[in-house]
Amino acid sequence: MKAVVLKSPAPIETEPLELVEGPVPEPEPGELLIKVLACGACHTDLHQVEGELPPVKLPVVPGHQIVGTIEEVGDGVTRFKVGDRVGAAWLAWTCGECDYCERDLKNLCENAKFTGYSVDGGYAEYTTVAADFAYPVPEGVSAAQAAPLLCGGIIGYRALRLSTVQPGQRLGMYGFGNSAHVAIQVANHWDCEVYVFSRGERHRKLAEELGAVWTGRPYDDAPPKSLHASVVFVPAGELVPVALVHLDKGGTVALAGIYITPIPELDYEKHLYHEKTLRSVANSTRRDGEELLALAGEISIKTTVEVFPLEEANRVLRMMKEGRLEAGAVFDIAGEE
């Protein structure tokens, strides 16, 4: 089979990803062999390739936004059958025995494995995934459209849940990238009033087209009403005090990024008093993936993608680094898009 492999981290300008031929993997008990249809490219892939994430497995096949069809099921698998279309996301496996797993916080498992990082991922024609961490992909959503749901989409959905926003409430969104594009569609389905802060006029207009009741610039404009909950999608720590100022009493600000610049000093009375909550979002759970993909089929969630052949992996990640992608990048591995 054809696969893209990282043997040693290096700047993406040096083209460290290699296209190789190798054997099709065999599923272990409890695993699925998946013929990959599409796999999304993520900033996490870029951080991994360039060594900003310390290597766990080398060589490794990157990619954790996988959509494919099941070619073979391993012993003991009962959830799926050959021919089913499924997705796989960042969280690949948890031990089920640590304190976090026992408290149903599997996304914080101390022994977790991650797709495309500690186990081989989806930059390949075939891959294996644990059946317990595979998600049914609804009919009517193409593989390319579904791929971004499995990373930014799931994280955005989890951030909405952790923000504790309720149907009909006022929700703030700081930044309007790919993850927020999905989250606003879910929030609209929940009948929330969405207030979007973005520096870019084009992003503000898109937010309005997708149902935002108000848009403004994050440092210059204030919403007409205080917000019951907010999600900060951009890795800018200086936005945290801004979001807390606009937050209503008893509200929550959820930080959706895996990285954020230093947060400035907070004034307790101005930013946190009246039982405001500030919390981070780490990884995602199986529940998040299952619920979001079910919603995607129910409300026809749309994603904006650019499709590339797998052979262009180095070029795509370099375009990502240089900010030259206009949408979420997805590799069309089966040639069906």
Under 8 Å between Cβ of 88 and 39? no
* φ, ψ of residue 269 in degrees (nearest 5): -70, -40
Mean pLDDT, rounded, of the chain = 95
* Angle at CA of residue 288, ends 263 and 114, nearest 5°: 75
Query: So what's the pLDDT on residue 337?
Result: 57
How far is the CA of 236 from the CAs of 174, 195, 216, in angstroms?
10, 18, 17
CB 180 within 8 A of CB 215: no
- Give the pLDDT score at 336: 64
| pLDDT reported for residue 281 | 94
Place of tokens 């009909």: 168
CA distance 209 to 202: 11
What structural domains and CATH numbers belong to the chain? 2-141+301-332 (3.90.180.10), 154-280 (3.40.50.720)
CA gap 137, 153 in Å, rounded: 13
pLDDT tens digits, 179-219: 999 999 999 999 999 999 999 999 999 999 999 999 999 99
Residues 6+ away with beta carbon under 8 Å from 322: none
pLDDT at residue 326 in the model:
81
- What the block records as the tokens of 130 is 């644990």
d(CA 256, CA 264): 18
Please tell me the predicted confidence (pLDDT) of residue 334.
85
Residue 74 near residue 35, CB atoms below 8 Å: no
pLDDT in tens, the chain (337 residues): 999 999 999 999 999 999 999 999 999 999 999 999 999 999 899 999 999 889 999 999 999 999 999 999 999 999 999 999 999 999 999 999 999 999 999 999 999 999 999 999 999 999 999 999 999 999 889 999 999 999 999 999 999 999 999 999 999 999 998 899 999 999 999 999 999 999 999 999 999 999 999 999 999 999 999 999 999 999 999 999 999 999 999 999 999 988 899 999 999 999 999 999 999 999 888 899 999 999 999 998 989 899 999 999 999 999 999 989 888 999 999 876 5
Alpha carbon 323 to its chain's center: 18
Share of the chain residues as helix, strand and coil, in percent rounded to the nearest 5: 30, 25, 45
Q: What is the pLDDT of residue 166?
A: 97
CA distance 139 to 310: 24
Q: In whole angstroms, give the CA distance from residue 261 to residue 50.
A: 19
